[in-house]
Structure 1
Amino acid sequence: MGLTFEVFLAATLLIYLSFTHFHFKSYDLALIKEKKSVKLHLAEILSTEDLNDVFITNLKLSSDQRTLTKSILTDTNYLSDFVNTSNFEIVHPHSFVSPNSIQDFTNISNINQAPNFPLNEITSEYNFWRIYPEQIHLSWTENEFEMRVTWVTYIYLAGRLVYRSLICDDGNGATNWTEIETSTISFDEGNNMIRIQYIHTGVMKNIKDNCIYEYMVGNSWFWSDFYSFHGITPSYSRNNSFKKGGARLIIIGDWGIGIIGTFTNALLKEDIENRQIDGIIHLGDLAYDLQEDEGKNGDKFLNMIQPIAAKVPYMTIPGNHESSKNFTHYSTRFNMPINNANEGKGWFYSYNLGKAHFIMMNLEQYYLSWLGECIEPHINWLIEDLKEAQLNRDIRPWIIFMSHRPFYCSTNSSNCFRDVKKIKLIEEILYENKIDLVLQAHVHNYERDSPVYNNTNLSGPNDTEHYYYSPKAPIYIVNGNAGNYEAHNDQFTKLKEEWFIYGTVDYGYSRLIVFNETHLHFEMYSSEKNQEVDYFWIIK
């Protein structure tokens, strides 16, 4: 039976190739497509008659960087006897901006596999049994110096992951490729019908925070595009605060695949191309909902964020919209860090980045009776995690707590008054441990509040509208305005509490920067207006 299928597959592939005019020829997997223009990563090659004379014009590159880029280019094996080398374009460029690294790179690959097939992105109209990798996304693991990549195919072929450092800010250039086999699970994403997808996971190890890496995923026949990422990973011990600079994170919540979500998607794509971002934090309610339409909503969402999440670690916690079937779709599709308390599900976890300790916690057990038995393990884990964070506060003075459910908000919904009582114990723990900032979602708007404890405004005497000086209680932010399926955001109450400072119903997301031990900056962007609409500083 297996042999018969293999023969059928091989014959079908031959027919497919004959119709689409692709060659059984070994060539570089960074596919070259003939074009009238000649471009490499935003930089023009003005002469390709002799690669030794190739030079790149780009005002962003210094003379040293041009020399390095030229040396990288001359090492490539792009040239082929069936490609018109005087007229080509690399159709899948890198684009990664870093203040410490070269901004424009050349895709290089010496991975020759014969035969090689065209990339899915180029021939999407064929969508050959959806055998090409899709839904590609990065995430941090529970270990230092690691980056996980997860992707999906719809026919089972053993997954492969290849990666290497492309360039480092110490001047070191590209290294040899590392190839690893990946783990694969089958997942029936359907509700009323069987829809099997194969979820592949691989972990890149020995990642350095001063390097840019490139990778691709696939198997021996069908490969993804090349993607690049900055090697920033969390630390988990006192001795490894290796990210000495700041932490730069995008904060997003309640984001779906509907038309409203496209505003945020467009701005976020632009943002990651122009500013360095260490990670993206999604505070629950993904896709609306992952399991809907026989799981196709989840597929569409992960494919929508792939241009973003394949380049920047995409970290998540579940919200109420992920609770279906005991969070099965969420837990299967998103691999988050595990610990001794979360039973391998990644529903709550913490990590250190730069000068801050981040806690990401699922609070749905307080609202779903069938999860009541989870409350005690969650509380115990949080208390122990904060004990350790307090011991390290001399080197990581900031502690930031993130959840889907809000503690404080200003709408007429029960989310903002009756339900808050359910998580009062958590508020007590956060206050006692002098948490600096609490980031929340669930309510579909953006709201910034004063330092609050027990529904009381604890603003300091020197605080202003945009500056908090050594606050005496956590500052609470609602960040659930990315673009939900209801096609509108939640309106604010007419009468505001004393601790309310600013709110907007614009769709958008926020950006958090921990600069150092004393300064933290937060800004909110309206994806409708394409501009910043709020900001604040916390100064210790």
Structure 2
Amino acid sequence: MVNGGCIIMAMFWNKRKNSMLVQLLLLSSALLSCINNGNAGVTSPFVRNEWPSVDIPLENEIFAVPKGYNAPQQVHITQGDYDGKAVIISWVTADEPGSNKVQYGLSEGKYDFTAEGTMQNYTFYNYKSGYIHQCLIDDLQYDTKYYYEIGDGDFSRRFWFRTPPQVDPDAPYKFGIIGDLGQTYNSLSTIEHCLETGAQTILFVGDLSYADRYEYHDVGVRWDSWGRFVERSAAYQPWIWSAGNHEIEYFPYMGEVIPFRNYLHRYPTPYPASKSSSPLWYAVRRASAHIIVLSSYSPFVKYTPQWTWLQEELKRVDREKTPWLIVLMHAPIYNSNDAHFMEGESMRVVFESWFCRYKVDIVFAGHVHAYERSYRISNIRYNNASSGASNPVPDKSAPVYITVGDGGNQEGLALRFRDPQPDYSAFREASYGHSTLEIKNRTHALYHWNRNDDGKRVQTDSFMLHNQYWGDNRRRRKLNKNRLHSVLDNLPLSLIL
């Protein structure tokens, strides 16, 4: 329907222009309605296993070690602070420690600045890691392309990255979302297709290398190969990391009983910037988005460190500055696949009411090796009344829940969706792919799920996401009123009655 503000504006136009305006507004409303509804209640019949779900052999050129003695490898970057003015650059030197410095500047080959990082290595069973370097570069300019160089002499390597725009409610930005990636040919297809989208930052929802499917020395070897595998993206685009179950790596038979050891040594996060006590849960602000990362495999019930931290972090969210509130986790809260069915239920009981109270826009998860999108639904009534029906109901304050555990790992696809499709499920398909979320302004973002199909990227599920905070009626009326006054102020006098 055309809102009251638009009707008033239309009255200032002559009869012909009034008719054209009304038709245009009605058409726009109809189109937005169609986009909003997406593919309602669809279980896609498309099932494709493009290549066998086996890891790419180590001798494949995709895992090639960079040429030159002690050349840096496994280069990747992530956000290094709360607001996007810093990056953490990580790399490995295999033969000796080498230089721990990063040279960087605004022109390729001309570096006006130098930062110095830290170095560590570790053992896992009888595997000994290379020398892992991590360097924080801070006090950067917003929306600026930086070039950086790491390594020594003739065997140094050069890369670049771009900082996000300044934190602002109308800053446009494009995220890629990947989960459960691994290192198969299907994984490679996902990476290459995501690069085609122009996504500026990757939101990763856990399960990186799947090295835990190997044993003994080979666990570390497959962490190394995966680091080289994702470098084509991760050395240039910040990846916002979250941990999955395949990062736990609890192996008593190998004498390895400290969870997340490989992951925590290799993939740092800026957790102190958001006052977190653990690198497994933290938050960053990037452009117009506030991104919260949770750990499905760390304690999260009442009064635990993660529960306490999230309670405080949600209070710090300022929707006037970062209108988009996004949550990343590994185990999905809503899932209609037989694989991992109901595994996220305990986290749902603890956190779902907070997601609704603070109007989280979207929750991304992985774990299930298929794609699924929900409507805005909640089950918090069941939590509050033991006699209530345990069925999700439509809830305008709830987030959209999206599972993207379809990156391409060797465990293969989760092919068994539950039948019938539950009412809360909008679209689901068992095939490989990744998602993009393109924020347009404070009120709208365009979402796509992209299927990997015969070497092509196919936009299969799309919808326009309406912001939870700026989309409520009171604020919409206020915004439309201000925009109406702005339009009227700029109308030629000849068009005003």
Match runs of 1:49-448 below 5 Å: 131-144=70-83, 145-154=85-94, 155-166=96-107, 176-188=111-123, 190-191=124-125, 193-220=126-153, 222-224=155-157, 226-232=158-164, 241=167, 244-271=170-197, 275=198, 277-289=199-211, 292=214, 293-324=218-249, 325-339=258-272, 342-343=276-277, 345-365=278-298, 371=299, 376-389=304-317, 392-413=318-339, 415-417=340-342, 419-448=344-373
Match runs of 1:1-20 below 5 Å: none
Alpha carbons of structure 1 residues 136 and 419: separation in structure 2 relative to 1, 3 Å:
closer
Q: Secondary structure of 2:139's match?
A: coil
Tell me the alpha carbon deviations over residues 200-224 of structure 1, each in whole angstroms, 9 at most, x when there is no partner: 1122233222321111111245311
With normalisation by structure 2, the TM-score equals 0.71
Larger relative helix fraction: 2
Q: Does the Cα contact within 8 Å between 1:243 and 1:353 map onto a contact in 2?
A: no
Tell me the alpha carbon deviations over residues 271-296 of structure 1, each in whole angstroms, 9 at most, x when there is no partner: 3xxx2x33111100111126841411
CA distance in 2, matches of 1:508, 1:499: 22
Report the alpha carbon displacement of residue 407 of structure 1 after superposing the two structures with TM.
0.3
Alpha carbons of structure 1 residues 125 and 496: separation in structure 2 relative to 1, 3 Å:
closer
Q: Does the Cα contact within 8 Å between 1:160 and 1:219 map onto a contact in 2?
A: no
Q: Does the Cα contact within 8 Å between 2:68 and 2:155 map onto a contact in 1?
A: no
Alpha carbons of structure 1 residues 211 and 446: separation in structure 2 relative to 1, 3 Å:
same
Q: Does the Cα contact within 8 Å between 2:375 and 2:401 map onto a contact in 1?
A: yes
CA distance in 1, matches of 2:300, 2:289: 31
1:535 matches 2:466? no
- 1:501 corresponds in structure 2 to 426
Q: Secondary structure of 2:376's match?
A: strand
Report the alpha carbon displacement of residue 143 of structure 1 after superposing the two structures with TM.
4.7
After the TM superposition, which segments of 4 or more aligned residues of structure 1 sit over 6 Å from their partners? 372-375
Q: Does the Cα contact within 8 Å between 2:67 and 2:155 map onto a contact in 1?
A: no
Report the alpha carbon displacement of residue 418 of structure 1 after superposing the two structures with TM.
5.7
Which letter maps to 1:306? Answer: E
Tell me the alpha carbon deviations over residues 291-329 of structure 1, each in whole angstroms, 9 at most, x when there is no partner: 841411111111011011111001111011101231111
Alpha carbons of structure 1 residues 488 and 314: separation in structure 2 relative to 1, 3 Å:
same
Q: Secondary structure of 2:282's match?
A: strand
Q: Does the Cα contact within 8 Å between 1:513 and 1:522 map onto a contact in 2?
A: yes
Q: Does the Cα contact within 8 Å between 1:161 and 1:215 map onto a contact in 2?
A: yes
1:522 pairs, out of 444, 447, 453, with: 447
Q: Does the Cα contact within 8 Å between 1:264 and 1:507 map onto a contact in 2?
A: yes
Alpha carbons of structure 1 residues 133 and 433: separation in structure 2 relative to 1, 3 Å:
same
Q: Which runs of 5+ in 2 are unaligned?
A: 1-60, 250-257, 380-390, 472-497
CA distance in 2, matches of 1:126, 1:151: 12
Alpha carbons of structure 1 residues 243 and 176: separation in structure 2 relative to 1, 3 Å:
farther
Tell me the alpha carbon deviations over residues 150-177 of structure 1, each in whole angstroms, 9 at most, x when there is no partner: 000112223221111139xxxxxx9753
CA distance in 1, matches of 2:293, 2:174: 16
Q: Secondary structure of 2:229's match?
A: helix
Which letter maps to 1:346? Answer: P
Q: Does the Cα contact within 8 Å between 2:78 and 2:88 map onto a contact in 1?
A: yes
Report the alpha carbon displacement of residue 135 of structure 1 after superposing the two structures with TM.
0.1
RMSD after superposition: 2.5
Which letter maps to 1:178? Answer: F
Alpha carbons of structure 1 residues 291 and 149: separation in structure 2 relative to 1, 3 Å:
farther
Alpha carbons of structure 1 residues 208 and 450: separation in structure 2 relative to 1, 3 Å:
same
Alpha carbons of structure 1 residues 377 and 299: separation in structure 2 relative to 1, 3 Å:
same
- 1:29 corresponds in structure 2 to none
CA distance in 1, matches of 2:65, 2:266: 25
Q: Does the Cα contact within 8 Å between 1:515 and 1:521 map onto a contact in 2?
A: yes
Q: Does the Cα contact within 8 Å between 1:354 and 1:514 map onto a contact in 2?
A: no
Q: Does the Cα contact within 8 Å between 1:290 and 1:330 map onto a contact in 2?
A: no
Q: Does the Cα contact within 8 Å between 1:281 and 1:314 map onto a contact in 2?
A: yes
CA distance in 2, matches of 1:494, 1:159: 55
Report the alpha carbon displacement of residue 257 of structure 1 after superposing the two structures with TM.
0.7
CA distance in 1, matches of 2:420, 2:432: 23
Q: Does the Cα contact within 8 Å between 1:458 and 1:472 map onto a contact in 2?
A: no
CA distance in 2, matches of 1:291, 1:341: 34
Q: Does the Cα contact within 8 Å between 1:291 and 1:298 map onto a contact in 2?
A: no
CA distance in 2, matches of 1:418, 1:313: 29
User: Percent identity among equivalent residues?
Assistant: 24
CA distance in 2, matches of 1:285, 1:418: 16
Which letter maps to 1:485? Answer: Q
CA distance in 2, matches of 1:419, 1:487: 21
Which letter maps to 1:148? Answer: I
Q: Secondary structure of 1:199's match?
A: strand
| Equivalent residues, number | 378
Q: Does the Cα contact within 8 Å between 2:371 and 2:430 map onto a contact in 1?
A: yes
Q: Secondary structure of 2:447's match?
A: strand
CA distance in 2, matches of 1:394, 1:341: 21
Alpha carbons of structure 1 residues 228 and 495: separation in structure 2 relative to 1, 3 Å:
same
CA distance in 1, matches of 2:343, 2:87: 40
Alpha carbons of structure 1 residues 458 and 373: separation in structure 2 relative to 1, 3 Å:
closer
- 1:457 corresponds in structure 2 to 393
